[in-house]
Amino acid sequence: MTNLHAPMQPSKLQNYNSTRGATAYKADYQNKLHRKWSDKRERALLHAYFARIGQVDSILDLPCGHGRLSDLLRQHCKTLIEGDWSHTMVHLNQKDHGTDHRHYVRASALEIPLPDRAVDVVVSFRLSHHLETPELRERHLRELFRVARKHVIVTWFSATSLKNLLRELRVKVAGKKPKNVLRNERVRAIAGEAGYRQQLAKPLFVIGSGHVLGLFSRS
């Protein structure tokens, strides 16, 4: 059962909150080839998006995980806030990256403990596809748009990606579990309702991944 306070499968949440799970997630990015490729591509896209945005005062990175993107994001702002639902991830991140112009908070991206327009940019990577219902995925987006003053950079799993279309076949034929997807036009509509416009939406990879990285700016 998933809800606002436990929005992904309990076993996944427990894994991210455990020392073993958090360190394994970090190690995957150091050891596994597909993780290294996607990390490289995400960094290239993030740098390109920030080339468009320019330097900002503040960025909220939620969920930050173990701080995979912390150093990159720190290059583009004066103050970086790193947040995650998992205490263990936040602790590991702080231990590795320190507190110079960086703040840490244990928080849910579905109920961000910040006022409207509190930071210049909100970045939210690799959470949407873990959220178990469309309502939670849409709520996540609305929270990001609420807290950002200028821009939101967010990933979601696209319903129209090749990877998802193939999965839909396997759902029908082999009874596989469906992916936690969003339709791109629905993401744009939610952005529009919040006063944002989509600037860019690049697939992580056209083949082999359904993730899209979107950049939205306040109109």
Ligand X SMILES: C[S@@+](CC[C@H](N)C(=O)[O-])C[C@H]1O[C@@H](n2cnc3c(N)ncnc32)[C@H](O)[C@@H]1O
Binding site for ligand X (CB under 6 A): 7-8, 16, 62-65, 68, 84-86, 89, 108-110, 125-127
Q: How far is the CB of 80 from ligand X (least distance, A)?
A: 13
Q: How far is the CB of 172 from ligand X (least distance, A)?
A: 27
Q: How far is the CB of 36 from ligand X (least distance, A)?
A: 13
Q: Name 182's bridge partners.
A: 158
The residue (of 105 and 192) whose beta carbon lies closer to ligand X is 105
Rounded Cα–Cα distance for residues 171 and 180 (Å): 13
Please identify which residue in the block is written with the tokens 């998006």: 49
The residue (of 150 and 211) whose beta carbon lies closer to ligand X is 211
Q: Which two tokens stand for residue 152?
A: 């939101």
Rounded Cα–Cα distance for residues 104 and 85 (Å): 11
Rounded to whole angstroms, what are the CA distances from 24 to 28, 37, 63, 100?
A: 6, 17, 17, 26
Rounded Cα–Cα distance for residues 9 and 6 (Å): 7
DSSP 86: -
The residue (of 109 and 182) whose beta carbon lies closer to ligand X is 109
Rounded Cα–Cα distance for residues 20 and 7 (Å): 21
Q: How far is the CB of 89 from ligand X (least distance, A)?
A: 4
Helices (H), 65-217: 70-74, 87-97, 134-147, 162-174, 184-193
Q: How far is the CB of 218 from ligand X (least distance, A)?
A: 23
The residue (of 24 and 48) whose beta carbon lies closer to ligand X is 24
The residue (of 84 and 120) whose beta carbon lies closer to ligand X is 84
